[in-house]
Amino acid sequence: MNIEMSQTNLLDMDLDCLVSYVFEDEIDPSLESLELNKSLSDYITDLINDGEVNGRFGQLNLVHTHKNAKQKRILFAGMGKKQDFNLDRARKLAANVAKFIRNKNFSVSGALAGRIELPKAIAVSDFFSAIVEGASLGLYTFEDHMRKKGDSTKPESSSLLLGGLGGLTNKQQDAVHKAVETAKVVSESAKLARDLVNEPANLMTPTILAERAKLAAKDTKLDYQSLTKKQIEKLGMGAFLGVAKGSHEEPKFIILKYSGDPKNPDKELGLLGKGITFDSGGISIKPAANMSAMKGDMGGAAAVIASMYGVARLELKINITALVPATENLPGGSATKPGDLLTAMNGTTIEVENTDAEGRLVLADALAYANDQGLSPLIDIATLTGAIGVALGSVSMGLFSNDDTLANQLNESSLDTGEKMWRMPLWDEYKDQNKSTVADIKNTGGRQAGSITAAQFLHEFAGDTPWAHLDIASVFMSSKVDGIYQKGATGQPVRTLISLFTKLAAK
């Protein structure tokens, strides 16, 4: 679906459908502001008085005009009570509206988004942004490998025009136009992450992931580099290579560099993503049930690559280097065994107690490399532990950090995007569970507090550098269709990361 701003009054346009957003507690029975009501002999007023159009959240009422207006139909989209309305609800509602329009196969529709008196806490530009994100993400499909396509052909044949800007100031209109263009880029970035995660593992090997990262860098201000196995060996990344040993696929260490603030080259943030393109668990093999979902164990890498793509498209004034250690974790004849000892890039020795705790091993070397390059602060994204889902369910990702400022910045950005996160503790008492009798540290602390001990392991390699870890294993996939999410990859936390970087760039 093409989503564009309309400079023409939508009420003067021939449309298949006109979308009118209405609050439950502020429906005007006279509808004096909606000229269409007069054309329809107050028919809409009758529907409101009868309770058929009531504005309850999520309720969609389609009204046919029977050729008494330029618009063939009016779709009333219920926003619920004004006091309960927020941007997350706006995205979900816009997603459902877009799906309705697509399923009806309407050609050109328009939404009177600028005619609503929003709650004071919501800027009109943010509302437009939410509509664009909601519609774009809600219509996402992944049917690249299907001979018979489903709904994926319909979105391209329809358009949604956003209008109702007549009552806004010039400053507000400029802000809306900018917000809409930004929302398009952010949505495209999130959908890129979804695409990468949804690909089958045989079509998303470390080499292919590197090629997709290179493609994302093309035509943007991203510098791309991918280190080969020999280069990784020369750097002494024994933890990363220990995970890669069981696979015939060559590991890749992907580096994407964005220099949007060349006057401050010393200020360079590090963004790291776990890139396990398939995780069988290695010798500590996983149960067969649902193992196919482990094609998405590179969800952190996908989020990092997609976020860098968005940052470059938006040309933010910030410097970021992204690091993606990419490999498969398979139980081959040369695979690392439980009880083996690995040496990370920074010299730390690691006892491998469980080969299925591999994500922290590849990130250990990535964090050591980031510190060696002087990157700060550091943010790593990983589908790290099943334990985070036990703690937080499928609602929220886990946030771990050694720096309150960075943690608060991430949390504030997540509130803007609706990609929920919850800060978890990093108390010293949890470190004891990672103690080894034969090495500096072991790679698992056992079942209790599994997500915390995993984060504590990473903390050892982040050191004193301001650092945050997002465990997205609980939210990187959706088991159902819900608003902006389809069944499959969610693209989290791309929108939150771009929001954070936008704010940091503005400072």
Q: 98 versus 165: which is more confidently predicted?
A: 98
Determine if the pTM surpasses 0.85: yes
| Active-site annotation holder among 360, 420, 442, 495 | 360
Query: Mutual orientation of helices 404-417 and 494-506 as an angle, nearest 10°?
Result: 120
- The pLDDT score that the predictor gives to residue 156 is 55
Does 286 participate in catalysis according to the annotation?
yes
Q: What are the φ and ψ backbone dihedral angles of 460, each rounded to 5 degrees?
A: -60, -35
List, in order of start, the domains of the chain with CATH numbers. Answer: 2-186 (3.40.220.10), 199-506 (3.40.630.10)
| Active-site annotation holder among 56, 214, 286, 431 | 286
Instruction: From residue 152, give the alpha-carbon distance in Å to each of 56, 156, 158.
Output: 29, 8, 11
Contact assessment for residue 20 and residue 77, using Cβ atoms and an 8 Å cutoff = yes
Band (pLDDT 50/70/90 cuts) for residue 507 is confident
Hunting for tokens 């995993």 — which residue is that?
A: 454
Band (pLDDT 50/70/90 cuts) for residue 180 is very high
Band (pLDDT 50/70/90 cuts) for residue 42 is confident
Tell me the C-alpha distance between 455 and 465, whole Å. Answer: 15
Instruction: From residue 286, give the alpha-carbon distance in Å to each of 283, 295, 354, 356, 476.
Output: 9, 13, 11, 8, 19
Give the pLDDT mean for 226-233: 98
Mean pLDDT of the chain: 94
- The pLDDT score that the predictor gives to residue 469 is 98
Contact assessment for residue 489 and residue 424, using Cβ atoms and an 8 Å cutoff = no
Tell me the C-alpha distance between 345 and 371, whole Å. Answer: 11
Does 360 participate in catalysis according to the annotation?
yes
Contact assessment for residue 359 and residue 382, using Cβ atoms and an 8 Å cutoff = yes
How much of the chain is in helix, strand and coil states, percent to nearest 5?
40, 20, 40
Q: 149 versus 458: which is more confidently predicted?
A: 458
- The pLDDT score that the predictor gives to residue 155 is 46
Q: Residue 3 pairs with which residues in a beta bridge?
A: 160
Closest residue by Cα to residue 464 from 400, 402, 393, 389: 402
Contacts of 432 (CB under 8 A, 6+ apart): none
428-455 pLDDT tens trace: 999 999 999 999 999 999 999 999 999 9
Query: Is the pLDDT score of 369 beyond 70?
Result: yes
- The pLDDT score that the predictor gives to residue 1 is 85
Give the pLDDT mean for 203-232: 96
Tell me the C-alpha distance between 172 and 188, whole Å. Answer: 24
Q: 116 versus 464: which is more confidently predicted?
A: 464
Tell me the C-alpha distance between 251 and 268, whole Å. Answer: 26
- The pLDDT score that the predictor gives to residue 150 is 63
310-338 pLDDT tens trace: 999 999 999 999 999 999 999 999 999 99
